[in-house]
Structure 1
Amino acid sequence: MEKRRKERGNVMMWGEEINSAEQKQLLTLLYKELTELRNGEANEHDKLAFTDRLLLFVDSFEHAMKQQSEINQQQREKRIERMTVENMHHITFSLGHQQLLVHMLKKSSSTVHVLDDVLSIGPLNEHRTDWLFERGLSQMNRAMATFTAEIRSIAVGHSVVIWVANNAHEKLALSYTLTHLPSDLSIRIIDIPASDMEVGNLVYRSSSDLCAKDVVSHFNRSIEMDALPDSERKSLQKRWQVARNSIGCLRIWQNCTIIEVEEAFYDEKITQLATNEYSRSIRIIGEIICQSDDYLSKEWLYYRVNYLIAQGILQCAVDSTNLFNQRIKLASGVS
């Protein structure tokens, strides 16, 4: 086959110029000749001619695909170019979304800041660190200090874009961010809707649910938006102060509002999904996350599973050591 490719000489060059209509015509001819070959109706010359035409089609198709790939890349770069304004700071509250933005903006001078501490869980005052540590959830309090220092240092004249989805964590993180950003910055908020008909009626529970195409679409729609008014900023800052002074330790997003609930809020769902036979904790936790309209932390649900084990409501298999291999069932006498 490779020998035949080399012997064709300038036939390959001609093949690179084939347009889509000619490709279709050639493909029809190839199909007809292939049928003849299968039926044993072709001689040796016909077989060689078929091979030439087949290679010709493959070459032209590869060339067309390469051209289309280059066009697609140019279009992507053109769309992203609008996001690469000099001295622009993007703020997000999802690590996955931050990584996507960093990748998309790697050729620009834009900066991406992230606060992925789960603010919907735990007290928001000076007791937060100890409270999370006692429950083995210290990872939910690792980024706030660094993030706060970063956003406080944003210079006057720089523009800020804040990405926020509809969940308790990101709404609280938005209020926290506005409390600590310098007051004389131009700020735009990209409020990611719970669902979006314009991009296929997708459902977004978190900023991390966005793909690159969604990011560009939402950003372009936000360009004509006005900067955040002072009155709205003060209102959002007040929401943070209220939450910080509250004694509640678990918050959910319900009916477009942050609501405080008991720590045991998800315990009933866990026990409803557990059975009298051992099943993996990760499956139960995954089902709860999928059924929820809010963004949920698997670490928090895992903590509640272990709490229920300690209370004798659930029973854990002896060989279970972590979230991904832990197997649980309802304890004897629990139904």
Structure 2
Amino acid sequence: MNQQTIHIVFSQAAHGSLRMALSNLNLQEDLISLPDTFSIGPVSKIDEESELKNRYQWMKDHLSFLFPEDLPEMENQVRQAVLDIRAIPDDRTVVIWTGDNAHEQTGLGFALHLLKDKGNEIKVINTTTGYHQLFVHDDPERFPRKMGGLDPEQLSRIYKEHAGAVVLQMKERERLENEWKKISATQKVLRVWENDSVRNVDADYFDDFILECIQRSQREQGSDIIILMRAIGEVVGHLEEYIGDEYPEYRIRQLIKAGQLEMRESGMYYDVKMNTGNSK
């Protein structure tokens, strides 16, 4: 690999870790980060400015309770990344890092869509595959669910040994681009990785799981009242899909509105409890 290689990743954490990994390998290669959570929110036509604005307006309307100050910066960074990807010269090799999750697979489709009229050689590195090929772990069911969960040393080895790496041939590239078209053809706001493909699902897809996590926390704590951030941590920690912290909080608020949960004001945030007087 050389300076003609440019990498595309889908989070700031992945960007930082890969930057260190490349440095460990004494490589000076460019990186572009699309620092968003592509498993959530509308993605229809987000390569167009008006639809990109609509995506972040949806996020401001639904996901801004926890970290409202982060959204404007994220929007600007994604907008710049779209421009940077479109400006990649055709003679550069593009390496897109992904994993077995809806977030990075949707990001892969979006990146390929932005590159669809270009003649670049494109390589895809699946960190889930690479991790399983190279590293021994005690629990085969527990592994980093996205690239940001891998440390620079692990990424260095995956890159150096080409673990989980494939060069996209035209047929596979077209298949993935068609997958993107299907994913982005609706206004669904939640996606999951299922049977080796991304599937659009209803917004309340994880609601029962969220309620189960809150009930488990109640039993473990011996208390009906659960701190919001504890509830979110339980959901994120046990969910195989990556949907960030903001989406579970949004669904908790919807469950409160639906009468499934009760809310108690507490400092900056709020606490929650099951509404035992409501039968689902």
Fold shared by both chains (TM-score > 0.5):
yes
TM-score bracket for the superposition, by shorter chain length: 0.7 to 0.9
Matched residue, 2:60: 133
Give yes or no for contact 2:126–2:164 (8 Å, CA) kept in 1.
no
Match of 2:135 among 199, 205, 210: 199
1:224 shift after superposition: 11
**Post-superposition CA distance 1:267-326 (Å, at most 9, x none):** 22222324471111222222222222221211100111122223333222222423xxx3
SS of structure 1 residue aligned to 2:91: coil
Asked whether 1:212 is paired with 2:152, we answer yes
Q: Distance in 2 between matches of 1:162 and 1:225?
A: 10
Give yes or no for contact 2:109–2:177 (8 Å, CA) kept in 1.
yes
Match of 2:121 among 186, 195, 218: 186
Query: Which structure 2 segments of 5+ residues have no match?
Result: 45-50
1:114 shift after superposition: 0.9
Asked whether 1:114 is paired with 2:33, we answer yes
Correspondence list, 1:32-51, <5 A? none
- The answer to which of 146-155 and 312-321 deviates more is 312-321
SS of structure 2 residue aligned to 1:166: coil
Give yes or no for contact 1:167–1:206 (8 Å, CA) kept in 2.
yes
**Post-superposition CA distance 1:229-248 (Å, at most 9, x none):** 11111111111111111232
**Percent same amino acid among aligned pairs?**
24
Give yes or no for contact 1:165–1:204 (8 Å, CA) kept in 2.
no
SS of structure 2 residue aligned to 1:203: coil
Q: Distance in 2 between matches of 1:229 and 1:210?
A: 27
Matched residue, 2:47: none
Matched residue, 1:267: 207
Structure showing greater Rg: 1
Matched residue, 1:97: 14
1:223–1:266: structure 2 CA closer, same or farther, 3 Å change rule?
closer
Give yes or no for contact 2:34–2:78 (8 Å, CA) kept in 1.
yes
What's the RMSD between the two structures over aligned residues?
2.5
Give yes or no for contact 2:259–2:278 (8 Å, CA) kept in 1.
no
Give yes or no for contact 1:92–1:114 (8 Å, CA) kept in 2.
yes
Query: Which structure 1 segments of 5+ residues have no match?
Result: 1-82
More helix per residue = 1
Q: TM-score, normalised by structure 2?
A: 0.79
Q: Distance in 2 between matches of 1:118 and 1:223?
A: 24
Match of 2:228 among 281, 289, 307: 281
Matched residue, 1:166: 100
SS of structure 2 residue aligned to 1:196: helix
1:150 shift after superposition: 0.7
Q: Distance in 1 between matches of 2:132 and 2:253?
A: 37
Q: Which amino acid aligns with 1:161?
A: V
Asked whether 1:300 is paired with 2:244, we answer no
Q: In the comparison of the two structures, how many residue pairs are matched? A: 249
SS of structure 1 residue aligned to 2:268: coil
Q: Which amino acid aligns with 1:121?
A: I
1:96–1:180: structure 2 CA closer, same or farther, 3 Å change rule?
same
Q: Distance in 1 between matches of 2:164 and 2:143?
A: 24
Q: Distance in 1 between matches of 2:90 and 2:158?
A: 25
Q: Distance in 2 between matches of 1:128 and 1:318?
A: 29
Q: TM-score, normalised by structure 1?
A: 0.67
**Post-superposition CA distance 1:81-101 (Å, at most 9, x none):** xx6x21221111122110112
Q: Which amino acid aligns with 1:198?
A: L
Higher relative contact order at CA 8 Å, sep ≥6: structure 1 or structure 2?
A: 2
1:153 shift after superposition: 1.1
